[in-house]
A and B are shown apart, each in its own frame.
Chain A
C-alpha cells in the first residue's frame, strides 16, 4: 500500500512534530540574539579600518580574518546581527500596529470607512511586494530607517485584511454580544474580547513572515538601498565582498551563512508557534 493509500485510511490522525526542530529554532535565534547583545562588549571595533591588515585569513588577531579595509569580519558579523534583528523587530512592531489599528477600525466601524480602507488595502496588495518596497525606498530616500518603513508599508495590508476579517467574525460570537449587552464600551469590547483572539493569529502570521522580512531587508541593503557603508550589515557585506569573489571567497560566505541560519531559526520557531497556538493552520508542511 502506498503512502497515499495509508493517508486515506487514517485521515484524522496527525503525528506530533518532533520537538527537536523547535529546540533547533530556539537555539539558532537565541545564538543570534546573544551575538547581537555581545557585539558591543567585544574588544574589536567593526568599523576600525586597518589598511596594513587587508584581506587577512583567519588568525589569532582576527578569528575570521579581515575584509578589504582590514576590518574584523567577526565583529562585523555580530554587529550585523544587531542591525538585522533590530530592523526586524521594528518592522514587526510597525506592521502589527498598522494592521491592528487600521484593520480593527475598519472592522469595527464598518460602512463607508470599511469600504475605503479595504480599497486602499487592495491597492497595496496589487503591487508586487518587493517592487512596492523598492518604490517606497525611492519615494522616502535610501537608508536603513526608510528600508524598514518601506518593508512595513509593503506588508501591512495583509495584516489589516486579516484583522478586519477576524473582527467581523468574532463580533458575531455570543460572548462578544454578551459583553455588549452588559454595557461594555466599544473600545473595551475590542481590547478585552476581540483583540486577544486576533493577536494569536497575528503572532503566528508574523512569526512565519519574519524570515521573509529578513531576506527583504538584506536584499534591499545588498542593492545598496539600505544602511550607509561603514555600518556593518549582512547584505552590504555580501555586496562589498563581491569584488573579492575570485581572491577571497570566504568573505562572502560568512554573512550569507548568518542570514541563512537566522532565517532558518525564525522559520522553525514560526512553524512551532503555529502548531502550538493555531492548530487549524497546521498543515503537513516541514
Chain B
C-alpha cells in the first residue's frame, strides 16, 4: 500500500510543474500588460519612465524563460510575490481566506455523501415505485438548477420570508445551512443517481445471485453484497465532485458574503492582480490534486483488484 501511495505521489511534481508553466505563460501572453496594471493599481501615472521602472521592478525586462525560472524558484520557497492591490505576500492573503473556503467545501462534501447514499439506496430498492420516481425527479431538477440562483431562492424563503436563517456572513451553524445546501445539491443529485444505477447493475451480477441462493437475508444481500460493490464508482465520482464543489464554493461565497478565496479571486480578476491569480490557480489545483490522491488511495484500499494490478504492472 505504501508503495502504491509513493508511486502516485511521484506523478504529482511533473504535473504541477506543467500547470505552473502553463499558468505563468498564459498570463504573460494574455491580453493584459502587467506593468500598466501595476501602475494603474498603484495610482501612478503611466509615463514612459514609470513604465520602464515598473518593468524593471516586476522583472518584465528579462527573457521569458529567465522570468519563469526565477518565479518558480521563489514559488518553491513559498514566495508568490506581492499582491498589486494589498501589497501583502499573495500566499499569506490567500491562506488567510482559505480556511473559510475549505470549511464550506468540506461541509458540502460531507452533506453530499451523507444525503446521496441513503437516497440512492432507497431509490434502487424501490425501483419504478414512488421513492424511485421521487429521487429521480429531485435529481433531474437538482442537476439543472444554477447553484447561485438556488442560493438566492433559499435566502428568499428562509431569510426574507420566514426569517429563520441569517442571510449573510460566517458564524455559527445557522450561517452554514444555506451556503452548504446551495453548493452541494448538484453533486448530491449526481451521486444519488449514480449509486442507484450502480446498485441496479451490481444486483444483476452472479455473486449476488449466489448470495441469494445461499438463503442470506435480503438485508445482508443488499448491504454486504450489492452496496459494497456498488460504492466503488461513487468513490471515483467523488474525486470529480471535489472539483465541482470547489468551483461551486467560489460562486456561492459571493452570495452569502462568505469570507473565502472566491471573493478575493474575483476581485483579483477584475483588478488584473496577476500574482494573486497565479497563486490562486495553483493553490486550488494542489488542493484538488491532493483530494484526488486521497480518493485514489481510498479506492485502492477498498478494491484490492486495483492495487494488486498496479503493483504487478510495476
Question: With A and B bound together, what is the CA distance between A159 and B157 in angstroms?
Answer: 40
The reply to whether A127 and B281 form a contact with Cβ atoms under 8 Å apart is: yes
**Residues in chain B near residue A132, CB distance under 8 A:** 281
Check: B266 CB closer than 8 A to any chain A CB: yes
The reply to whether B247 and A249 form a contact with Cβ atoms under 8 Å apart is: no
**Residues in chain B near residue A283, CB distance under 8 A:** 197, 201
Check: B222 CB closer than 8 A to any chain A CB: yes
**How many A-B residue contacts, CB cutoff 8 Å?**
189
Output the nearest chain A residue to B204 by Cβ-Cβ distance: A11
- Looking at the complex, which of A49-57, A182-190, A219-227 is the stretch in contact with chain B? A219-227
The reply to whether A128 and B247 form a contact with Cβ atoms under 8 Å apart is: yes
The reply to whether B268 and A4 form a contact with Cβ atoms under 8 Å apart is: no
Instruction: Type the 1/0 row for A189-213, where 1 means its CB is closer than 8 Å to any CB of B.
Output: 0000000000000000000000100
**Residues in chain B near residue A245, CB distance under 8 A:** 152, 155-156, 160
The reply to whether A264 and B266 form a contact with Cβ atoms under 8 Å apart is: no
Output the nearest chain B residue to A257 by Cβ-Cβ distance: B149
Task: Given the known inter-chain contacts A140-B30, A245-B155, A260-B146, please indicate yes or no for A222 contacting B270, CB distance below 8 A.
Answer: no
The reply to whether B149 and A142 form a contact with Cβ atoms under 8 Å apart is: no
The reply to whether A224 and B251 form a contact with Cβ atoms under 8 Å apart is: no
* B255-292 contacts to A (CB < 8 Å): 255, 265-266, 268-270, 272, 274, 277, 280-281, 284-285, 288-289
**Residues in chain B near residue A263, CB distance under 8 A:** 144-146
Instruction: Type the 1/0 row for A247-268, where 1 means its CB is closer than 8 Å to any CB of B.
Output: 0010010011001100110010
A46 to chain B, nearest CB (A): 20
**Residues in chain B near residue A128, CB distance under 8 A:** 242-244, 246-247, 284-285, 288
The reply to whether A123 and B288 form a contact with Cβ atoms under 8 Å apart is: no
Question: With A and B bound together, what is the CA distance between A260 and B22 in angstroms?
Answer: 35
Question: With A and B bound together, what is the CA distance between A259 and B143 in angstroms?
Answer: 12
**Residues in chain B near residue A115, CB distance under 8 A:** none
Check: A41 CB closer than 8 A to any chain B CB: no
Task: Given the known inter-chain contacts A4-B199, A128-B288, please indicate yes or no for A138 contacting B272, CB distance below 8 A.
Answer: yes
A208 to chain B, nearest CB (A): 10
Sort chain B's interface into a size bin. 35 or more
The reply to whether A249 and B30 form a contact with Cβ atoms under 8 Å apart is: no
Task: Given the known inter-chain contacts A126-B289, A141-B31, please indicate yes or no for A284 contacting B141, CB distance below 8 A.
Answer: no
Sort chain A's interface into a size bin. 35 or more
The reply to whether B251 and A249 form a contact with Cβ atoms under 8 Å apart is: no
**Residues in chain A near residue B19, CB distance under 8 A:** 123, 126-127
The reply to whether B146 and A219 form a contact with Cβ atoms under 8 Å apart is: yes
Question: With A and B bound together, what is the CA distance between A57 and B203 in angstroms?
Answer: 54
Output the nearest chain B residue to A4 by Cβ-Cβ distance: B203
Output the nearest chain B residue to A146 by Cβ-Cβ distance: B31
**Selected contact of A211 from candidates B129, B144, B200, CB within 8 Å:** B144
Check: B126 CB closer than 8 A to any chain A CB: yes
A67 to chain B, nearest CB (A): 15
**Selected contact of A139 from candidates B27, B140, B199, B222, CB within 8 Å:** B27
**Selected contact of B203 from candidates A7, A140, A246, A259, CB within 8 Å:** A7
**Residues in chain A near residue B22, CB distance under 8 A:** 123
A74 to chain B, nearest CB (A): 18
Instruction: Type the 1/0 row for B220-262, where 1 means its CB is closer than 8 Å to any CB of A.
Output: 0110001000000000000000111011101100110000000
**Selected contact of A4 from candidates B30, B226, B243, CB within 8 Å:** B226
The reply to whether A122 and B266 form a contact with Cβ atoms under 8 Å apart is: no
Check: A31 CB closer than 8 A to any chain B CB: no
- 4 further A-B pairs in the complex, CB-CB below 8 A; given A126-B285, A128-B243: A128-B288, A131-B246, A131-B281, A264-B140
A sample of 5 inter-chain contacts (CB < 8 A) reads A3-B127, A130-B243, A135-B281, A137-B269, A142-B269
